[in-house]
Structure 1
Amino acid sequence: MLWPFGSTWRPVRQRRRDTVDLRWLSARTWTRRWYPQGIDVGEWRGRRTLAVSWFRQELSGEHLASRVTLVDLERSRHIDILLAVTDDEGELQPARIHAGGLAWFGDRLFAAATGRGIWEFDLSDIREVRGALAQRLAGAHRRGGRSTALIAVRTRVHPIALRCSYLGRVFDEDGTSLSRVLIGEHRTDESGRIGEFAIPDGADGDFTEVDRFTPGIPRMQGAVRWGPHHFVSQSDRMHPGTLWSGHRETLSPNPVPLPVGCEDLALDLEAGLLWSLGEHPWRRVVRGIPFTRLGIPDGSGSGDGGSSRRT
C-alpha cells in the first residue's frame, strides 16, 4: 500500500477520562493550511476505518484542495486520499470544496460542498498520480517534497436545495444503516435547516427529500439520526462545542462537551461511540464519546439523550 504525502505520520490512540481521542503527531496539529472538517466510519480493505475530510486554503481563505484521511481504528495508521475532479478538457483538477461533512456507503463517499450540493467520489477506483500532477492536486504551489499521491475522482454532483454545509448518516432503531443522510446548513443565526434525503441507488438517480426541519440552533456543524433520536453539533468559537440531542422537536443540550471548534458527527454503532472532531490549530482532536456518557446505556437510539446520566 502506498503511503503518500507524509502519511507515515500516525495519530496516537489515547484514552482520556471516558473518551477515545486521536491526536495528530505532526504539522497537522497546528498547520493553518489544512483544516479537518467531516467524519464518518466505514470499512477500507476489510478493516474498520475512520474517514476524516480536510480542506486546504491559502492564508487569504481561498480554497485550494481537499482530501480524506483514512484511519485504521485498530492500528491507528492512516493514509491520505486526495479528492479530484475532471474538467471539461478531461484533465484532473483539485476538488476545491470545504468538505464540511462525509457520508460513507461502501465504495461511495459523499462530501458536502458548501453552496454546491453534495459531491460523490468512487473509492473503488483509487488512482496513483505522480510528480507535478500530484503536487497540483494537493493544492501545492511549490516544487519539491513528496511527489506521489492517491486520489479519488468525483463521479457526480448532486444538486440539493440547501446550503449543504454538512451531512451525516441515518440508522433505524435496531442499528441498521439506512440509505439516507441528513444534510444541514451552518448559519450564525437560528435559520439553519436540516433535511433528510434518500440517496440514489445508481449513478443516474437523484437525492430525494423526505423531511425537513429548522432546529433553531445557530452555528450547527453536523447532524446524525438513530431511530427517532437526533444528534446535532454546535460550535462556539474557541470554547467547547455543544451536543444537542433528543427527538427533533425537543432537542436539548447534552452535558457532555464536544471538542473546541467542533465540526461534523458520525455514529459508530459497532464500537458504541459518537465521533466528532475539532478544527482549530493546536486544539485538533478526533474524539469518540461512548454512548453510555450520552444517556444511552442500553445501546439504543431510543434513549432520551438529554439526561445527565453517565457511567
Structure 2
Amino acid sequence: MLWPFGSTWRPVRQKRRDTVDLRWLSARTWTRRWYPQGIDLGEWQGRRTLAVSWFRQDLAGTHLASRVTLVDLERSRHLDILLTVPGDGDGDGDGDELEPAPIHAGGLAWFEDRLFVAATRRGIWEFDLSDIRTVRGAVAQRLAGARPRGGRTTALVAVRTRVHAVPLRCSYLGRVFDDAGTPLPRVLIGEYLRDDTGRIGEFTIPDAGSAGFAEEDVFTPGIAQMQGAVRWADRYFVSQSDHLRPGALWSGRRDALLRERIPLPVGCEDLALDLDAGLLWSLGEHPWRRVVRGIPLARLGVDGGHTESTERRT
C-alpha cells in the first residue's frame, strides 16, 4: 500500500498571479459519479494537509458512497479515505460489518483526529482519523459504491463514531478563529436553501467521547444558496453558488455582509481558512470546471481579520 501519500493520480498545484489552484489529473475532473463538496485544513502524518469531501451517486442520482481526499499541500500528492458507518455484519474486523456513509458530505471541520462532516438533515457525523482501516477486494469495492469486479483493490476507511444532533439543516460547516488566528473549538453550521431564509449557527464542539453541539448563536444573513461559512475574529466569509456561473463571496461583520468583487469557482461549495498560508480555500463541483482554489487573504483586504476596504466591494 502506498502510504502516507502516494495515490496513482495527483492534483497539480498551479500558481497563478491571483490565486493558487489545484486541478485533478484524472477522471475526477469530469466524472458524474463523484462530486466534491467540503473542504478544511489539518495535519496528517506530520504534514500540512487539505481535506476535500466527495459523495458518489449513480446516474439516476442514488447515493452510493462518500469519501475524503487528503492532499499534501507541499507535494500535491493525495490519498482517499472512504467514510463508513457500522453495519450489521459479523464484526470480524475485515470490513464486512461496515456500510458506506450515506451522506452528502457538504462541509468539513477537522480537529486533530476528529473529522466532523455535514450530514444535511441528519446532523453532524464524526469520524475517527486515528483508526484508519484497510479493506480489500469486494469489501473495498462495495464501500466505494462500486460493483464487485474482482482484482486486488485496496482502500482506506474511516468509521463514524458519533452522530451529533443539531437543530439546523446542516448543509455545510466551517471553522472559527479568534483575533490572533488561533482555532477555537467551535464551528459554523449553515443551511443551503434556494431562498434567503437559510440560517448560520455557531456551536461549540463537544469533548471527545461526548455527543451534542452547544449552540452559541444563530442568525440569518439574508443570502440565498449559501454553500459555506467561516469566521476569523468578527469577520465572516460566506460562499454563494449560482448554478453554472461563478460563485459569490460575501464578507464582513455578521450584520453587514457585503459581496466581494473577487469571484469564487463555478459551482462553488464549502470554505476553509488557511491562516498559515494566508489563503481562503474554496472549490467547484461541476464536471470539467472542478478546481480547488486558494484566494490570498491580502486580495480581500484582510488584516488581522478586521480590515474593511470599500473599494473592493460591489
Common fold: TM-score over 0.5 = yes
Contact 2:166/2:212 (CA < 8 Å) preserved in 1? no
* Counterparts of residues 148-297 of structure 1 (less than 5 Å): 148-296=154-302
Residue of structure 2 aligned with 1:93, choices 89, 99, 107: 99
1:70 & 1:25 partners in 2: Cα distance? 15
SS of equivalent residue, structure 1 residue 282: coil
How far is 1:87 from its partner? 1.8
How far is 1:305 from its partner? 6.0
How far is 1:3 from its partner? 6.1
Query: Residue 67 of structure 1 aligns with which residue?
Result: 67
User: What amino acid maps onto 1:37 in structure 2?
Assistant: Q
Q: Describe the shift of the 1:197–1:271 C-alpha distance in structure 2 as closer, same or farther (beyond 3 A).
A: same
1:276 & 1:305 partners in 2: Cα distance? 21
User: What amino acid maps onto 2:179 in structure 1?
Assistant: E
SS of equivalent residue, structure 1 residue 293: helix
How far is 1:287 from its partner? 0.2
2:310 & 2:22 partners in 1: Cα distance? 26
Please tell me whether residue 11 in structure 1 is matched to residue 15 in structure 2: no
Please tell me whether residue 304 in structure 1 is matched to residue 302 in structure 2: no
User: What amino acid maps onto 1:29 in structure 2?
Assistant: T
| Per-residue Cα deviation, 1:228-261 (whole angstroms, up to 9, x for no partner) | 0000000000000000000000001011100000
Query: Residue 142 of structure 2 aligns with which residue?
Result: 136
User: What amino acid maps onto 2:60 in structure 1?
Assistant: S
Which range moves more in the overlay, 83-92 or 13-22? 83-92
SS of equivalent residue, structure 1 residue 250: coil
Runs (4+) of structure 1 moved beyond 2 Å? 1-4
Which range moves more in the overlay, 197-206 or 287-296? 197-206
Contact 1:38/1:99 (CA < 8 Å) preserved in 2? yes
1:123 & 1:97 partners in 2: Cα distance? 18
How far is 1:16 from its partner? 2.1
2:101 & 2:11 partners in 1: Cα distance? 25
Aligned sequence identity (%):
76
Contact 2:138/2:148 (CA < 8 Å) preserved in 1? no
How far is 1:202 from its partner? 2.2
